[in-house]
A = this chain, B = another copy of it.
Amino acid sequence: MTSPADPSPTAVRLEVRSAALRVDDGPHRSAPQLQVLLVRSADSQGWALPGGPIDGATDIADTALTSLREQADVAAVAHLEQLEVFSAPHRVPGVRTVASTYLGLVRPQTPAREAQWTPARGAQWHDVEAVPPLIADHAAIVAAAHHRLAGKLSYTNIAFALAPSEFPMSELSGIYCAALGYPVDTTNLLRILSRRAVITATGGVRRTRGGGRPPALYRFTDTSLRVTDEFATLRPPM
């Protein structure tokens, strides 16, 4: 260790990498699937997470968003948060490269959910359950993003960033199921999310072509992250 106040330059390179996740429910699927956005690495070494080096002037979160937009045409990220720093000494061959990583959540393309995806430079969404081989430790970054998302689903309103603006509960439970990897009971989900005011009924219903009662529509009450189950006793006095 050197002095705490005057660090000398070291041979460390800093990059940003983003695991952007969405839930896809295309017409060819039997159930919605969680997907991660991957780009082809320039030298064809394999698939990679969007990102790149951090330069001397730009904010890191801006660099993350810029790389998603420029490398994969993803312009709207509903929620972005930092994940761990990935810094194993030999994670990238050559100069030590430390990655500041992000979890990004992208809403489904509603209402035209079947609209054609137009990727830049070979960017493509892949099911998290079947990602192709990734360069360096990018698979571990995807796993960290998935783990963070699954954890926060259980104590925050983070699903707002994966859901369309309005939805029937069956669609929302499909999103939870895709992100968590196991079935979620729609009735219970409605009960716990309503009780905590995470979701609100819009008063509308979804018109369907078939018969039967059209399902009620809901929306997320907030569209920024909120812990939904705080110990009430620990809240500041009013």
- Listed A/B pairs (27) with beta-carbon separation below 8 Å: A1-B71, A2-B53, A3-B41, A3-B43, A3-B52, A4-B39, A4-B41, A4-B51, A4-B67, A5-B42, A5-B48, A7-B13, A7-B53, A9-B53, A9-B95, A10-B13, A10-B14, A10-B53, A10-B56, A56-B89, A154-B227, A154-B234, A180-B236, A183-B237, A189-B234, A192-B231, A228-B231
Once A4-B39, A98-B54, A184-B233 are accepted as A-B contacts, the answer to whether A85 and B60 lie under 8 Å apart by CB is yes
For A190, give the chain B residue with the smallest CB separation.
B233
For A181, give the chain B residue with the smallest CB separation.
B236
Residue of A13, A59, A66, A237 contacting most chain B CB atoms (<10 Å): A13
A188 to B2: give the CA distance in the assembly, Å. 47
For A56, give the chain B residue with the smallest CB separation.
B96
Q: Knowing that A1-B52, A59-B89, A180-B236 touch, tell me 20 more A-B residue pairs with CB under 8 angstroms.
A: A2-B53, A3-B41, A3-B43, A5-B41, A5-B42, A5-B135, A7-B52, A9-B13, A10-B14, A10-B56, A54-B87, A56-B95, A58-B89, A82-B85, A85-B100, A153-B234, A154-B234, A155-B231, A176-B234, A191-B233
A51 to B3: give the CA distance in the assembly, Å. 8
Within 8 A of B (CB), among A178-210: 180, 182-185, 188-189, 191-192
Once A50-B4, A87-B54, A182-B236 are accepted as A-B contacts, the answer to whether A231 and B154 lie under 8 Å apart by CB is yes
A85 to B11: give the CA distance in the assembly, Å. 19
Copies in the complex: 2
A118 to B53: give the CA distance in the assembly, Å. 42
A contact residues vs B (CB 8 Å cutoff): 1-15, 39, 41-43, 45, 48-60, 63, 66-67, 70-71, 82, 84-85, 87-89, 95-98, 100, 135, 151, 153-155, 176, 180, 182-185, 188-189, 191-192, 227-237
Once A4-B71, A48-B5, A56-B12 are accepted as A-B contacts, the answer to whether A233 and B43 lie under 8 Å apart by CB is no
